[in-house]
């Protein structure tokens, strides 16, 4: 299992606190992975901002291939479109998490807001999100 971070085109080991990886079926810890440090998150954001102009000008098929190549373990689905949507969602979640951490932490959303967002995601991407 590759546990490194991809920052600026390089694979690096996280310098933050270790996080447990749990087996979804049993709940048993199967690995411990170092998280990114604040400095590494800042480096990743800077690298993403620098890469954006080139990424935006890349053909959709090439972007899809890059997302699957870099997020293959996370981006799974019934077909290519679903896998790409999962990878893009992963990117959005990471950005929101970083923003929340930067602003002092996240607040739990009200159940009706969560239900509305799930419904919107299903309508937009055509598959279920738990």
Q: Residues 48-106: pLDDT tens digits?
A: 899 888 888 888 878 777 776 766 555 566 677 776 777 777 777 777 777 777 777 76
Q: How far apart are CA 101 and CA 40, in angstroms?
A: 14
Q: Give long-range contacts, CB 8 A cutoff, 24+ apart: 38-42.
A: 39/15, 40/5, 40/7, 40/12, 40/14, 40/15, 40/16, 41/98, 41/101
Whether this prediction's pTM lies above 0.75 is answered by no
pLDDT of 130 over the 70 cut:
no
pLDDT of 126 over the 70 cut:
no
The reported pLDDT for the residue numbered 27 is 78
Section 6-19 average pLDDT: 90
Q: How far apart are CA 79 and CA 33, in angstroms?
A: 29
Give all strands (DSSP E) within the chain, no chain letters: 5-7, 10-12, 18-22, 29-34
The reported pLDDT for the residue numbered 12 is 93
């Amino acid at each position: 299992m590759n546990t490194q971070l991809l920052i600026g085109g390089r694979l690096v080991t996280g310098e933050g606190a270790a996080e447990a990886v749990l087996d979804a079926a049993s709940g048993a810890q199967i690995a411990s992975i170092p998280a990114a440090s604040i400095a590494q998150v800042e480096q990743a954001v800077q690298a993403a901002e620098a890469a954006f102009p080139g990424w935006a000008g890349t053909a959709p098929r090439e972007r899809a291939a890059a997302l699957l190549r870099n997020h293959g373990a996370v981006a799974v689905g019934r077909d290519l479109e679903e896998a790409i949507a999962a990878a893009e969602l992963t990117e959005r979640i990471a950005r929101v998490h970083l923003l929340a951490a930067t602003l002092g932490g996240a607040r739990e959303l009200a159940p009706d807001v969560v239900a509305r967002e799930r419904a919107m995601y299903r309508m937009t991407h055509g598959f279920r999100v738990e």
